[in-house]
């Protein structure tokens, strides 16, 4: 029990202690904090209290503007930090409780804080790990006989997402532009997305990375998973439908991804562990594990708009419905030797993919920064065309972004335009590669690194859309309205098939057991009208 008062329905008791990054109006510096009740404990103020063997010489990590360095220290440091925090916040410990001067500097009311992304997200991977969701979407487009692709039950399917357009909860998401083909008997048209959607997902942030060429084994994967966040994988369904063959999602997904600001650690989630989903066929040995690594996390999605007196809940689901575990995702991600870094973000997929970088990637309204390098397809068009397409959705690109062609036949400016047309943002140093130049790297943890792919602290990995077994647990408007054939009643005469401008999507998640609630807070985003393009 903490000396800080915590209401029974609060998401942040002493059993939770999630990490986040915040600033205040009187101090614009980004600081690492821990949520306790309705307050934030500023770790930069109390860093001297972390005196254990792992953190005594690493107190400086709590002066950093992101969690990356702390996440990179590893599991022993994470456990020690949690133990130290629970000790200093305990009702029986006087070091903070009885020091009024230190308390005044160390605690900040949450309603006075400005929250930021918890990590510098160098890489973001989105998985497609809900069998219910994958089957539903497959039924819509291929029929029940061919709903699941042959590989789906053998490996965790995923794609490499757009890290630069990951934003913190509360950030508005602009309705993207892109190519669509509403009438299959006519050529495609260009304009704002008309079938804008949310996807209920969760994601985890990675800790210590691996060296390029050295996979993370299934028995070590847990040591690389720091904690989890809520996630909304915003989706432009009409853009996605026209573009996704043969390479998968691109502009339909690069326009923005929202995550919750508080990272709930795996240690805090341990009491809510439940058995893994039965997997048939049995996974290959490199993916197989018997120990439970699934979690009972209650999830809800609500939509708010001007016509409602309160947000309307449209989905109730649970993370425990996921087919592939996070350990399997990370192992598969690195089985090629792919490297991960601290802070990489990995998403579950809708709870009920794939960003490729090119100039085509920016046709979403993506922003491009000095030094962005983008290569053409088979190099027979203009590079400026590629850049325009890349950013047309609003995708942002930054200095140094590298974009490679497919097999090289257009101009680089063509690639960049397409890449950002949805509003997708591109950052300095981003690398954009073609198909074979003609293939691609996919990053989940054992599967993600089985090739030897390297990962660094802060990689974000998403589950994919989460959904349960009943219609009220569907994880996207695509399923709730069944491809636009039904309407969703929000109340007060408001109905939806897909999201309208100014709709706010609110995702909530928490675990509860024996009277203790460990929650994630909320993950919110409002749909902003499309820009007027000149």
User: How many C-beta atoms lie closer than 10 Å to residue 153's C-beta?
Assistant: 15
Strand ranges, E, within 446-534: 446-455, 458-466, 488-491, 494-496, 504-513, 516-528
Label residue 271 left, alpha or beta by phi (over 0 means left) and psi (-120 to 50 means alpha).
alpha
- Taking the C-alpha atoms of residue 371 and residue 429, their distance in angstroms, rounded to an integer, is 7
Closest C-alpha to 433, from 400, 404, 402, 401: 404
3 state DSSP class of 224: helix
Concatenated DSSP letters of 51-114: -STTTGGGGGGGGSSSSHHHHHT-HHHHHHHHHHHHHHTBTT-HHHHT-HHHHHHHEEEGGGEE
Spatial strand order of the sheet with 312-318 comes to 173-174, 516-528, 504-513, 298-304, 312-318
Binding-site residue positions = 126, 128, 142, 199, 201, 233, 240, 244, 253, 257, 350
Is 332 an annotated catalytic residue?
A: no
Burial (CB < 10 A; 0-12, 13-18, 19+), residue 100, is: exposed
Query: Measured on CA atoms in the order 179, 123, 264, 350, is the torsion positive or negative?
Result: positive
- Give the per-residue pLDDT at 249: 87
Helix (H) or strand (E) holding 298: strand 298-304
Binding-site residue positions for substrate = 128, 142, 240, 244, 350
- CB contact at 8 A, 183 and 401: no
How many CA atoms are closer than 13 Å to the CA of 150, on its beta-carbon side? 0
The answer for residues whose C-beta is within 8 angstroms of residue 87's C-beta and 6 or more apart is: 93
What superfamily does domain 19-116 belong to in CATH?
A: Fumarylacetoacetase, N-terminal domain (2.30.30.230)
- Taking the C-alpha atoms of residue 443 and residue 158, their distance in angstroms, rounded to an integer, is 7
Closest C-alpha to 34, from 74, 71, 89: 89
Secondary-structure class of domain 119-169+203-356+440-534 per CATH: alpha beta
User: How many C-beta atoms lie closer than 10 Å to residue 51's C-beta?
Assistant: 11
- Give the per-residue pLDDT at 406: 61
Alpha-carbon Rg for the chain, nearest whole angstrom, is 22
Q: What is the pLDDT along the chain (534 residues), one digit of tens a residue?
A: 999 999 999 999 999 999 999 999 999 999 999 999 999 999 999 999 999 999 999 999 999 999 999 999 999 999 999 999 999 999 999 999 999 999 999 999 999 999 999 999 999 999 999 999 899 989 998 999 999 999 999 999 999 999 999 999 999 999 999 999 999 999 999 999 999 999 999 999 999 999 999 999 999 999 999 999 999 999 999 999 999 988 888 999 999 999 999 999 999 999 999 999 999 999 999 999 999 999 999 999 999 999 999 999 999 999 999 999 999 999 999 999 999 999 999 998 888 822 222 333 334 444 444 444 444 344 344 555 656 676 777 787 776 777 665 644 445 455 555 666 666 665 544 544 433 322 222 234 566 666 777 767 777 878 777 766 677 889 999 999 998 999 999 999 999 999 999 999 999 999 999 999 999 999 999 999 999 987
Query: Measured on CA atoms in the order 492, 495, 501, 507, is the torsion positive or negative?
Result: positive
- Taking the C-alpha atoms of residue 90 and residue 413, their distance in angstroms, rounded to an integer, is 58
**Given the residues 11, 133, 333, 447, the one annotated as active site:** 133
- Give the per-residue pLDDT at 360: 33
The two three-digit tokens of residue 302, written as one number: 């609500």
CA dist 527 → 240, 258, 325, 407, 422 (Å) = 18, 12, 31, 36, 13
- In degrees and rounded to multiples of 5, residue 9 shows phi and psi of -95, 5
- Give the per-residue pLDDT at 401: 74
Chain Cα centroid distance, residue 264: 14
- Give the per-residue pLDDT at 349: 85
- Give the per-residue pLDDT at 399: 66
**Domain ranges within the chain, ordered by starting residue:** 19-116, 119-169+203-356+440-534, 358-439
- Taking the C-alpha atoms of residue 21 and residue 33, their distance in angstroms, rounded to an integer, is 6
Q: Which residues of 389-420 are buried (b: 16+ CB within 10 A; e: fewer)?
A: bbbbbbbbbbebbbbbbbebebbbbbbbbbbb
- Taking the C-alpha atoms of residue 143 and residue 121, their distance in angstroms, rounded to an integer, is 37
- Give the per-residue pLDDT at 76: 99
Start-to-end CA distance of the chain, whole Å, equals 59
- CB contact at 8 A, 238 and 254: no
């Amino acid at each position: 029990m903490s000396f800080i008062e915590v209401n029974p329905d609060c998401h942040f008791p002493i059993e939770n202690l999630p990490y986040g990054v915040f600033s205040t109006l009187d101090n614009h510096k980004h600081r690492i904090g821990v949520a306790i009740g309705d307050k934030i404990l500023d770790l930069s103020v109390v860093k001297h209290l972390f005196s254990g063997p792992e953190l005594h010489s690493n107190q400086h990590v709590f002066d950093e503007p992101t969690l990356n360095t702390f996440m990179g220290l590893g599991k022993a440091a994470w456990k020690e930090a949690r133990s130290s925090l629970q000790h200093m916040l305990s009702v029986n410990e006087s070091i903070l409780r009885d020091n009024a001067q230190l308390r005044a500097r160390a605690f900040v009311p949450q309603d006075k804080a400005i929250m930021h992304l918890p990590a510098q997200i160098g890489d973001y991977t989105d998985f497609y790990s809900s069998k219910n969701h994958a089957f539903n979407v497959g039924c819509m487009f291929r029929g029940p006989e061919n709903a699941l692709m042959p590989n789906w039950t053998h490996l965790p399917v995923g794609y490499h997402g757009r890290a630069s357009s990951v934003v913190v909860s509360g950030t508005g998401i602009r309705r993207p532009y892109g190519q669509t083909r509403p009438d299959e008997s006519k050529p495609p048209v260009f304009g704002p997305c008309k079938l804008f959607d949310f996807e209920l997902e969760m994601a985890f942030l990675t800790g210590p990375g691996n060296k390029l060429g050295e996979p993370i084994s299934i028995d070590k994967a847990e040591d690389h998973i720091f904690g989890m966040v809520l996630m909304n994988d915003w989706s432009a369904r009409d853009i996605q439908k026209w573009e996704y063959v043969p390479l998968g999602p691109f502009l339909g997904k690069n326009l923005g991804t929202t995550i919750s600001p508080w990272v709930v650690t795996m240690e805090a989630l341990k009491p809510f562990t439940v058995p893994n989903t039965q997997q048939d066929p049995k996974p290959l040995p490199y993916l197989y594990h018997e120990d439970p690594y699934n979690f009972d996390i209650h999830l809800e999605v609500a939509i708010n708009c001007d016509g409602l007196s309160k947000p309307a809940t449209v989905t109730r689901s649970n993370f425990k419905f996921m087919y592939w575990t996070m350990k399997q995702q990370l192992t598969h991600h690195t089985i090629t030797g792919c490297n991960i870094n601290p802070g990489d973000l990995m998403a579950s997929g809708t709870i009920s993919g794939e960003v490729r970088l090119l100039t085509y990637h920016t046709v979403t309204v993506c922003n491009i920064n000095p030094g962005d390098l983008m290569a053409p397809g088979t190099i027979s068009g203009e590079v400026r065309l590629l850049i325009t397409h890349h950013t047309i959705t609003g995708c942002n690109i930054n200095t140094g972004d590298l974009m490679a062609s497919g097999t090289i036949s257009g101009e680089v400016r063509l690639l960049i335009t397409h890449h950002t047309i949805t509003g997708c943002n591109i950052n300095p140093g981003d690398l954009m590669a073609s198909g074979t130049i003609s293939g691609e790297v996919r990053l989940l943890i054992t599967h993600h690194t089985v090739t030897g792919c390297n990962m660094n602290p802060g990689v974000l990995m998403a589950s994919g859309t989460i959904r349960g077994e009943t219609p009220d647990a569907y994880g996207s408007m695509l399923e709730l309205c069944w491809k636009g054939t039904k309407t969703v009643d929000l109340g007060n005469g408001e109905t939806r098939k897909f999201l309208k401008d100014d709709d706010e999507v609110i995702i909530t998640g928490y675990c509860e057991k024996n009277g203790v609630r460990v929650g994630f807070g909320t993950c919110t985003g409002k749909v902003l009208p499309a820009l007027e393009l000149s």
